Chains A and B, each alone.
Chain A
């Protein structure tokens, strides 16, 4: 009689090969440790990144109804200016306006070599953001796109700004939220920008602001704000919200990482931070003068609010 081997060993595990002579120990399946589930902010960023990538890929294929003026502010940026202009040339532009101020390098020569560019050249430095006002004052397009000459942004990432304005937005801001740390590690400038948006009743804009490029404005925005206030970007931001223009931050162009790679800087210098603080105070002063000190935040009499809350 053939003695049948036990199908199961002592551990109760069904033996693979009943003929094998040794006891088959239970095989511990070594599972690869599961990748830690990303945190909620990280998951949010991943979804945003995917959405942005899809938007970018289809952005260049969409036709834009309005005419576009691109305004490039540059000063001593010969390394990057050519790339910036090359990317802009891939967009459907009416005109490209380059404002050079106080350049001591080859920037002027580089721009001269390119065709079809409106060049304004100032031997002396104009100061921060003044070039934006000058460029805006001579631009004739329906849509104005502002970029800096120091950080080349691919055309795919610039196109969404144009599309947003074309579809009715007045101010298309760059959404830098994906690159920001938690609040406790945010710098003073980020907090100022967030506070301005909250104070004006638009907390959803978070810390996105006209201080950052790239951004785009509609012709209506220029007519409402004028060009002068564009030299003090927080003031332009406050006035845009004050006048009820449609302000959104629907697309993200990664200028943060690119700039960090280029300069090794991870923060803003002290003098620039002080300038931006002054700009924000100027912005508040302006809208408080035109409006009121509390800017539409509740005027509900303190006693009524207390009664309502504590009843």
Chain B
């Protein structure tokens, strides 16, 4: 045997220290938050970190609460890793219920609601927070949906019509159904936690009880709905949202009377009674 061309492998070669992964960035949770940012999430691991990043830039005196429900893809782990306040449920809570759950633990006087699947830049979100700070009670997304067509999507129609019934046609199609939007603590109190689960109902209550409800900033949120089997001529989610709007109408007629206080212009109804 001659000399080896390559050095013999030395089993006792000291192992070099593995390069440490950098610590994951951490959300700055303020001990006495003025702003509570509430983010319901199910399976959003591809977007949740971006959403948290933007939320973290919105306000220095804020807390971020993520309500992970029925997740199977590790969304909860990611939220926890980056220091979000995590409320975790192993089962799905249902549309909009996560908002209520988050609101119940929120400590700020300004509540900002986001979706976990859409990254909205912090500079857009600040408009909603600032509006509440300046006295608005419900700061809505100024997005009415696609309206330049002969027949609007049933949900777009429902939102516009509810605002009409609430004597607020100026709100066009803006709705608490959509995010982002922000509430004052006062509005939360007036609306009540239970109604927060039914966004159109919450909106009807807020407006009827004299809250300051405004459109403040547009964040385009046109999401495509996958084709699904239909209920009553519409897809199930649309049907749910329309049903929610009908609950709002129901509340309205209970609260304001059968004609909502609108005139009858002197109809002689007793002439036709019993016909």
Contacts and interface: CB of A to CB of B under 8 A. Distances in A.
Interface string B249-275: 110110010111111111111011111
A277 interface: yes
Q: Interface size class for chain A?
A: 35 or more
B153 to A, nearest CB: 9
A132 to B, nearest CB: 9
A304 B165 CA distance: 30
A310 B152 CA distance: 25
B246 A297 contact: yes
Contacts of A288: 246, 249-250, 253
B211 to A, nearest CB: 21
Q: Interface size class for chain B?
A: 35 or more
B199 to A, nearest CB: 12
B74 interface: no
Contacts of A124: 268
Contacts of A177: 150
Interface string B14-45: 00000000000000000000000000001100
* A interface: dominant SS: helix
A305 to B, nearest CB: 6
Contacts of A134: 271-272, 275
Contact of B231 (A130, A231, A281, A297): A297
Interface in A232-281: 232, 271-272, 274-275, 277-281
A194 B263 CA distance: 21
B135 interface: no
B235 to A, nearest CB: 10
Contacts of A226: 275
B249 A284 contact: yes
Given A195-B158, A284-B249, A297-B232, A310 B92 contact: yes
A278 B259 contact: yes
Q: Which of A129, A274, A304 gathers most chain B CB within 10 Å?
A: A274
B236 interface: yes
Contacts of A277: 164-165, 260, 262
B154 interface: yes
B190 interface: no
Nearest to A300: B236
B266 A125 contact: yes
10 contacts: A41-B150, A124-B268, A128-B265, A183-B151, A199-B158, A199-B242, A293-B250, A297-B246, A305-B240, A310-B43
Interface of A: 41, 124-130, 133-134, 136-137, 177, 180, 182-184, 188, 191-192, 194-195, 198-199, 201-204, 206, 226-228, 231-232, 271-272, 274-275, 277-282, 284-285, 288, 293-311
Interface of B: 42-43, 69-70, 91-97, 147-152, 154, 156-158, 160-161, 164-165, 169, 197, 228, 231-234, 236-237, 239-240, 242-243, 245-247, 249-250, 252-253, 256, 258-269, 271-275
